[in-house]
A and B are shown apart, each in its own frame.
Chain A
Amino acid sequence: MPSELTAHAALDLLVAGDLTSVDLTRSILARIDASEAQINAYISLDPERALSVAADVDRRRQSGEVLGPLAGIPLAIKDVLCVRGGRTTCGSAILSDYVAPYDATAVARVLQADAVLLGKTNMDEFAMGSSTENSHFGPTRNPVDPTRVPGGSSGGSAAAVAAGEATLALGSDTGGSVRQPASYCGVVGLKPTYGRVSRYGLIAYASSLDQVGPLTRDVEDAALLLGVVAGHDARDATSVDCPVPDYRAKLNDGVEGLKVGLAREFFAEGLDPEIRSAIEAAAEQMRLAGAELVDVSLPVAGHPEYCVACYYVIAMAEASANLSRYDGVKFGHRTADADGLQQMYHRSRSEGFGAEVKRRIMLGTYVLSAGYYDAYYRKAQQARTLIRQDFDRAFTQCDLLLSPVSPTTAFRLGEQVDDPLTMYLNDIYTVSVNLAGIPGISVPVTTAADGLPIGAQLLARPFEEEVLLRGARVLEQSS
């Protein structure tokens, strides 16, 4: 089935003339037809546009034109990224009719690379959540087990790739939103270094943490897609001007001579025993492949009580400001009737935002308030510096860090919706990575006894995605 192919395998066939983009796209669309009623990975789909772009790519390939690196590959985009002329909802009622007037830079780059855009994937509203249950457009289900959540907030993208409803997908990761759903759905999810991929056109949740990342069927596809979207962008002041290597060139160089760190704090109580042994087995595979295992300590970054608190204070503070623009004045939902400006604001926002978004806006507003700023926001910034320093120190002792992605495998729909604190603890292994700004990848390493996927997380120094991908490739080959 072409819908099962990785992008690089499909590209080989396309280049060889053994497959057309139209056939590949049709195969994906057929899968979407068959699964969507159950999975609900997409918020919007444009099969006609996809087929017409695919046909165009096939025509250009036949005429011998030089095509982009993703030519003819069907790709899904998390509905947090703006696509010009199309509906961009961010999973929210407040943007349910919003049509973006411009393309996000990451979107422009995949289009420039001749990818075939399928549609926009489901997500937790404004990327706030770990299960894709907080969506105005209904929850997405995990293709591995539809009674389970796909993780979140990029659950739609992860589910689409896992279900054969897209060959490649883009997501966004603020505290684990690419890596955790990748792990729950059994696909690869990469969060690049902060500044590696432009955030222009990525609807902001927490600006200092957000990063666009690929969700793919294997590590090589992650390398391929990262290579397309990475690079400096003059429209994003926080994007970094540093060369983008060919991430596939050294993909199979292995890990011989590399030091892989295991932070003892990551294996403390609360970790599911199956996941613990999966990560320990992954470490052993790295050792067998020639890496040296070293014990490291992350006295601050390894402690969920510090990281999760620090993360939520900073993320919610930034979110409270980022979401102020949804006021019913310029775009988005405006209440049908209101008496005066204050009521218009109040009703438009009350009607437009879901419960989790409101909770985070209120918490964020609170931690920035006069009299509380020093106790919360300033303290969190100080903790963030310590977390960064922890990783800096660890990376003087090792080249990669290996850890779990999430303390559990995919949980059941509805299981945690009424318990935000437990929900927030899904992020204990991932949020510190965003706080430090370093790159991380989630790779499926095994399945639990109940058949649910287990992922391992690798972390690297800033802008060392190349090393990260090499390590991930070893884990993937030995799983």
Chain B
Amino acid sequence: MNYETVIGMEVHVELHTQSKMFCRCPAHHFQIGANEHVCPVCTAQPGALPVINGRAIELTVMTGMALGCQIRPHSVFARKNYVYPDLPKGYQVSQYELPLCEHGQVVIHTSDGSRKQIAIERVHLEEDTGKLVHQGNASLVDYNRAGVPLMEIVTDASIRSADEAFAYVQKIRQLVRYLGASTGDMEKGAMRCEANISVRPEGSQAFGTKVEVKNLNSFRAVRNAIDYEVQRQIEVIEEGGTVRQVTMGWDEGAATTKEQRSKEFADDYRYFPEPDLLDVDVTDEWIDGARSQLPELPDERAARFVESFRLSADDAAMMTEDRAVADWFEQVIAAGAEPATAANWISGELFRRLKDTEAAIEDVALTPAQLAELIGLITAGTISGSAAKEVFAVMWDEGGGPTQIVEARGLQQVSDTGELESQVDAVIAAQADAADKVRNGDDKPLQFLMGMVMRATRGKANPQVVQQLLRDKLQG
């Protein structure tokens, strides 16, 4: 029997704000000494009260807008009650009945090149928990992360494969990065995913029993865990069993899903409106203000690159994958470079260098104007393509402008017929056989003769000029 996979995703995204969700402690917590970014509020000292970080609301609403959601003019924070040592108050301030954003959709691009729309049920805002550190027999708690703003994005059950889930998570990461809402860095826990997975016989309308899989903390994990869990559920059914409703965790090392707890007794979080906070009422003007901060989003931008710069769809996708790259690319164009050439240089030489050095484009010393200048030198025939690669390498490694490097290293292409004529004559004299063949109308050795001239000029000769000279002399 063939089975259809049904997946709904919950993605938690840590917002990139200066301070925490409800206090003024710094929100960053990576590689900070334990309990250094804490205060009475985020450690739940008796009597301490939360105050909403307005920027977190703004970033969540902007994300909702980018996901085509309706922004609720009236939303409410609620207490989600459960007990664990990493949760200082014994409840998490979250949103339940009235989230900030609802009913959106996002288009994903799967690896086979197709596009699909995924419905977003809601985007809401909550606070992160602290972290437990286990040391021998003891467990220690670090509250640096407690109270960091956490945005949760929930889809409906319209995802049908691990590939689609992967593409969806990529899309979410791309969007939150574009918006400056989050670093989207899964390795540092800035983005954490859970998948609700079920399978059903192809053609069936009823949903199968869903299993919640947590700990999908890398792109690889998203794909592998879903593939594994789908296969596991199919095997259970094929062997005549039934899938139980449980919460599983993905064990990256063992590459299996492991049962964390049974869901036979539904969790009862006893949500109720958070009395320490006022309801969040946003006006039309405020919403307009948030909307005006939205950057051009990646899909729109790619469409514009195709339209205005005549890039191929692939090149446009590559140039818009990352907002900083797209900005950089547009600066190269603005400095006068030909768009397709610029895209080639960026996706080729530049990306290779970025990958080798694990650098971000914002951090490189090379400027868009310098790359445009380099491309200009090629277009003008001042340097050859191979010399340009050498110039690029020098620019990357040592810095400096391309024109200056070309001059300093004498890499200018020689196009002057007077200067090249003697070299051409010398090659014709030395390679008499090949020259004769060309004289008799055989063009094949022409490339060989050109190569010899290029070697003699150490690559600086303009190939077109050399070819013209050879033809003039042998066939003219």
Contacts and interface: CB of A to CB of B under 8 A. Distances in A.
Contacts of B277: 237-238
B49 interface: yes
Nearest to A107: B47
Interface stretch (B38-46, B319-327, B357-365): B38-46
A327 B89 CA distance: 9
A345 interface: yes
Q: How large is the interface on B (under 10, 10 to 19, 20 to 34, 35 or more residues)?
A: 20 to 34
Nearest to A104: B47
B135 to A, nearest CB: 15
A372 to B, nearest CB: 10
B46 A345 contact: no
A98 B266 contact: no
A330 B43 contact: yes
Nearest to B270: A368
Contact of B275 (A88, A90, A318, A373): A318
Classify the interface of chain A: helix, strand, loop or mixed.
Answer: loop
Nearest to A80: B47
Interface string A19-63: 000000000000000000000000000000000000000000000
B47 A201 contact: yes
B79 interface: yes
A399 to B, nearest CB: 28
B81 A238 contact: no
Interface in A188-202: 199-202
B393 interface: no
Contacts, number: 101
B385 interface: no
Contacts of A201: 47-48
Given A200-B47, A200-B48, A235-B49, A321 B81 contact: yes
Contact of A100 (B44, B45, B49): B45
B47 A234 contact: no
B272 A321 contact: yes
Contact of B49 (A101, A200, A321): A200
Contact of B46 (A88, A235, A320): A88
Interface string B245-280: 000000000000000000000101011100111100
Given A324-B90, A329-B141, A368-B272, A82 B49 contact: no
A374 to B, nearest CB: 12
A336 interface: no
A370 B275 contact: no
Interface string A312-355: 00000110110111010111000000000100010000000000
A207 B278 CA distance: 12
Contacts of A200: 47-49
A324 B81 contact: yes
Interface string B124-163: 0000000000000001010000000000000000000000
Contacts of B88: 325, 330
B83 interface: yes
Contacts of A320: 81, 270
A236 interface: yes
B90 A327 contact: yes
Nearest to B46: A203
A204 B85 CA distance: 20
B47 A100 contact: yes
Contacts of B268: 369-370
- Greatest chain A CB density within 10 A among B48, B49, B79 is at B49
6 contacts: A100-B45, A318-B272, A327-B83, A330-B141, A345-B83, A370-B270
Given A323-B90, A341-B85, A373-B272, 14 more contacts: A82-B47, A90-B46, A95-B46, A201-B48, A207-B276, A237-B49, A237-B276, A320-B81, A321-B272, A324-B89, A325-B46, A325-B90, A330-B43, A331-B45
